[in-house]
């Protein structure tokens, strides 16, 4: 028997990259690769990269500089760059770092096996096309390995919104939705392999409009109701959503579908209408707030999460204050906030930038407010009952960590607990980043 080749994948950025890395590992599994967590052992290193902010993109080059040194010890080592930096920079990556053998954009992952063979033969392999064929169909996993209790499943990719700051429409391309039947097949397959919770992924997941079983356009809500009927699947989540695509049927599903968890990531980016307009967000602060009211009317205990950008070009102190006011009003259980980062090729890159120190100071103020809100919402869980899906052992002996319905991490010490258990838990304490609980039955 030949010894398997070893593959080391490092994943940056969003959850879709996590999903894509799993698919790439499976695709290369067919070429005799097994995954390793040690870069030093690898025959092939893949960096699955993120281009959303400058820092994320630059990290790739410093990491490549380090990886290059491994080639001295192991001349057969192949180094590949995948993901959004690969898509955005293409052949430039090989020019800047000649140790790179392979560059593959997110729409071409199904072509990895041929590209790997080309790289093994000593040629450079580059593919940043947007091909017609269905990459997901060609990336189907075989053999079918067992999975953990929670999995991602991409249902939609790309974005047609063109927010003025964002590279996603360029790196991931136009919005494409997978047919519902394919999504359902993949979900059933995941459940057979041990999965109990599925998070549906898309850059604009609530704009999902894949073909339904009869060929007509489906909505995300219809897809969720079909998934609701999959036996053995206990929980459904989805991310990331755009406020303008929160359709009535999706809002209603939050109140009516028991498997749909009470958590919604709904980025608003800014609370100032002037900034929102310049961001090309095509919604106002007030319309967002009214939308949140409707969602809360359907599901009063829903936990809201958001994304914020501070220091967007020409943002004034008054604009920033409007963002703080919006946060005060919504009360987020979770939020991600970023200092605006200039992305080449996007409309906002041409505009007057906000002073870096002012932006830093605003980010700190915003994060302080968010952290306070998060902590209050988390602390308010103490005494409540929730169901926890246990995912992995905790740091202490006999302890397991899982996720509550509201996506809080919950630690429970009980030697009977197994990975994949879904149990009723009473929340008994709240720490910096997680809750403590006790089993109820």
Q: Give the footprint of ligand 5AD on residues 264-293 (CB under 6 A).
A: 267, 269
DSSP state at residue 217: B
- Please choose, out of 138-146, 163-171, 289-297, 379-387, the segment that lies near ligand SF4 by the rule CB under 6 A: 163-171
Q: How far is the CB of 20 from ligand SF4 (least distance, A)?
A: 16
In the list 9, 85, 126, 159, the residue contacting ligand SF4 (rule: CB under 6 A) is 159
End-to-end Cα distance, the chain: 49
Q: 110 to 139, contacts with ligand SF4 by CB under 6 A?
A: none
Beta-strand ranges (E) seen in 212-272 are: 235-239, 263-265
Which of ligand SF4, ligand 5AD, none is residue 85 near (CB under 5 to 8 Å by kind)?
A: none
Binding of ligand 5AD by 340 (CB under 6 A): yes
Q: Does 265 bind ligand SF4 (CB under 6 A)?
A: no
Per-residue burial over 79-99, b = 16 or more CB atoms within 10 Å of its CB, e = otherwise: bbbbbbbbbbbbeebbeebeb
Q: Binding of ligand SF4 at residue 88 (CB under 6 A)?
A: no
CA angle, 100 then 13 then 176, to 5°: 95
Q: Which of 42, 44, 77, 166 binds ligand 5AD (CB under 6 A)?
A: 166
Q: For ligand SF4, which residue of 7, 46, 84, 163 counts as binding (CB under 6 A)?
A: 163
Residue 22 has φ and ψ, to the nearest 5°, of -60, -45
C-beta neighbour count of 15 within 10 angstroms: 14
49: contact with ligand SF4 by CB under 6 A: no
CB-wise, 198 or 268, nearer to ligand SF4?
Answer: 268
Pick 193 or 283: Cβ nearer ligand 5AD = 283
Give CA torsion, residues 227, 229, 230, 235, to 10 deg.
Answer: 60
If contact means CB under 5 to 8 A according to the sort of partner, which of ligand SF4, ligand 5AD, none does residue 203 touch?
ligand SF4
- Which partner in ligand 5AD, ligand SF4, none is near 340 (CB below 5 to 8 A by kind)? ligand 5AD
Q: How many CA atoms lie within 13 A of 113 on its CB side?
A: 13
Report whether 247 contacts 221 (CB < 8 A).
Answer: yes
Q: Does 165 bind ligand 5AD (CB under 6 A)?
A: yes
DSSP annotation string for 140-188: --SS-----SEEEEE-EE--S---TT--HHHHT-S-EE--HHHHHHHHH
- Residues 196/420, Cβ–Cβ less than 8 Å: yes
162 binds, among ligand 5AD, ligand SF4, none (CB under 5 to 8 A by kind): ligand SF4
Which of 5, 6, 178, 242 binds ligand SF4 (CB under 6 A)? It is 242
Alpha-carbon dihedral angle through residues 320, 322, 325, 329, given to the nearest 10 degrees? -130
343 binds, among ligand 5AD, ligand SF4, none (CB under 5 to 8 A by kind): ligand 5AD
Q: Which stretch binds ligand SF4 (CB under 6 A): 138-146, 160-168, 176-184, 372-380?
A: 160-168
Residue 152 · residue 201 · CB < 8 Å: yes
Binding site for ligand 5AD (CB under 6 A): 52-53, 165-166, 267, 269, 307, 309, 338, 340-341, 343
Binding site for ligand SF4 (CB under 6 A): 159, 161-163, 166, 168-169, 203-204, 242
């Amino acid at each position: 028997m030949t010894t398997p080749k070893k593959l080391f994948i490092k994943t940056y950025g969003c959850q879709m990259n996590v999903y894509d890395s799993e698919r790439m590992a499976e695709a290369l599994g067919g070429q005799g690769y097994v995954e390793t967590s040690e870069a030093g052992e690898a025959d092939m290193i893949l960096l699955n990269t993120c281009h959303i902010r400058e820092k994320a993109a630059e990290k790739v080059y410093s990491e490549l500089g380090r990886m290059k040194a491994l080639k001295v010890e192991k001349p057969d080592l192949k180094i590949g760059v995948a993901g959004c930096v690969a898509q955005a920079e293409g052949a430039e990556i090989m020019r800047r770092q000649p140790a790179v053998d392979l560059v593959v954009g997110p729409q071409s992952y199904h072509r990895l096996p041929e590209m790997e063979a080309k790289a093994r033969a000593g040629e450079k392999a580059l593919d940043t096309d947007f091909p017609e064929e269905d990459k997901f169909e060609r990336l189907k996993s075989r053999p079918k390995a067992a999975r953990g209790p929670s999995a991602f499943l991409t249902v939609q990719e790309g974005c047609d919104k063109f927010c003025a700051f964002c590279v996603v429409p360029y790196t991931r391309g136009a919005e494409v939705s997978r047919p519902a039947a394919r999504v359902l097949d993949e979900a059933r397959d995941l459940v057979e392999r041990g999965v109990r919770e599925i998070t549906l992924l898309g850059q604009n997941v609530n704009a999902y409009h894949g073909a339904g079983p009869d060929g007509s356009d489906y909505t995300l809500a219809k897809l969720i109701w079909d998934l609701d009927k999959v036996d053995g699947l206990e929980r459904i989540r989805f991310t990331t959503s755009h406020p303008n695509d929160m359709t009535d049927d999706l809002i209603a599903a939050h109140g009516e579908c028991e498997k749909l968890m009470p958590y919604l990531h709904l980025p608003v980016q800014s609370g100032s209408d002037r900034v929102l307009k310049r961001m090309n967000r095509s919604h106002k602060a007030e319309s967002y707030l009214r939308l949140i009211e409707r969602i809360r009317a359907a599901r009063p205990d829903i936990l809201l999460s958001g994304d914020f950008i501070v220091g967007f070009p020409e943002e004034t102190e008054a604009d920033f204050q409007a963002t703080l006011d919006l946060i005060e009003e919504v009360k987020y259980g979770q939020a991600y906030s970023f200092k605006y980062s200039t992305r080449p090729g996007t409309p906002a890159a041409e505009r007057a930038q906000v002073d870096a120190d002012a932006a830093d100071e605003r980010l700190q103020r915003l994060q302080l407010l968010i952290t306070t809100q998060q902590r209050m919402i988390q602390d308010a869980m103490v005494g409540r009952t929730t169901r926890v899906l246990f995912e992995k052992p905790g740091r202490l002996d006999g302890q397991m960590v899982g996720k509550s319905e509201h996506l809080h991490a919950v630690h429970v010490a009980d030697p009977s607990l197994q990975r994949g258990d879904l149990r009723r838990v009473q929340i008994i304490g709240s720490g910096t980043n997680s809750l403590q609980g006790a089993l109820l039955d």
